[in-house]
Amino acid sequence: MGLTTVPAPLNISRRRFAAHLSLLRLDHSVKQIFVIPGIVIAASLTATTANFGLFWRIAIGMTAIVAVASSNYVLNEILDAPFDRQHPTKCVRPAALGTVSIPLAYLQWLVCAFGGFALARSISTELFLCVLSLWIMGCLYNIPPIRMKDVPYLDVLSESINNPIRLCVGWYIVTSTVIPPVSLLVGYWMLGAYFMALKRFSEYRQIGCEPAMLYRRSFEFYTEETLLTSVIFYAATAMLFFGAFVMRYRMEMVLAFPIIALLMAVYFDLAFAADSPVQNPEKLYREPRVMILLAVCGVVLVVTSFVNLPWLARVFPKSPVHERSELRHSGPLPMNSPLKEIQ
């Protein structure tokens, strides 16, 4: 009995479909985990209770941001194809290999974007503006002549600003009556910049100076020393603003700081490894140390978001000057809301 052969046109169509599907980088959807802290913190500070409506909004909101993020990935791969061919591993991406239809890929970019916009708009205007901001940042990051990914330091800052945008997505899935604290947003942004700068550092070490400049123009201005200096700046700034948020809004979260610091230290150490996983964060699930610390950190943050620990107020008392200042500036406040100080 002979083997059934697949007609050549059908075989080519299947390969083309698989190539276009890979443009979406659905495996990168794990990055949308950065939406979850926004959901948890907003639910905690607004005393929101879990119900079917909330879970439905979470499902729609997460689908919306995955769609818009996939739209950005499609654009990234189309415009980066000439540069990816200079990279030791990214050279096998479909656009770099020429296995996708560019006009169809642009259509894919728009369909994903507007599908995500429609889903977000069905929940709230605020959520729509968040996912629209994510898409606009993807355009500014990739499209010439702005193409922020080619500008040193701005490449890290513009890419990592997607983190506070994701936090806002989570926040506005829960509530649209108040805005997130600025200290939380800045801290989240700088934490993302810390991780992104370590990714750049690891890429620079692996590829080498000259090839790195061919792959990404911003590497022309970087050295290992300047990248590590920026990493220290981002880490310090992140902890400063997270500390400001914790002291003002949720003192219990201070218990998570040692775990966060250890997680950042482990991530720093990984950046020095050959073919480091920090270059592909979606593959960090292969690193037991990172996953265990991330899980423990997540549990501690969730617990401390909802469990009150009054004894912490005695360990970290507010000064009388601070208390008088809060009373003077707090103004009229809604009843029974832990978000009393967010105006």
Q: Once rounded to an integer, what is the mean pLDDT over residues 58-78?
A: 95
Res 162: pLDDT: 94
The domain ranges of the chain are 13-179, 181-333
CATH topology of domain 13-179: Tetracycline Repressor; domain 2 (1.10.357)
pLDDT tier at 312 (50, 70, 90 boundaries)?
Answer: confident
d(CA 253, CA 242): 10
- In the predicted model, what is the mean pLDDT of residues 224-231? 95
Angstrom distance (rounded) from CA 69 to CA 162:
10
Q: Pick from 165, 169, 198: which is nearest to 281 by CA?
A: 198
**Residue 242 reports pLDDT greater than 60:** yes
Task: For 256-307, write each residue's pLDDT tens digit.
Answer: 999 999 999 999 999 998 888 898 887 788 889 999 999 999 999 999 999 9
As a whole number of angstroms, the distance between CA 180 and CA 291 comes to 27
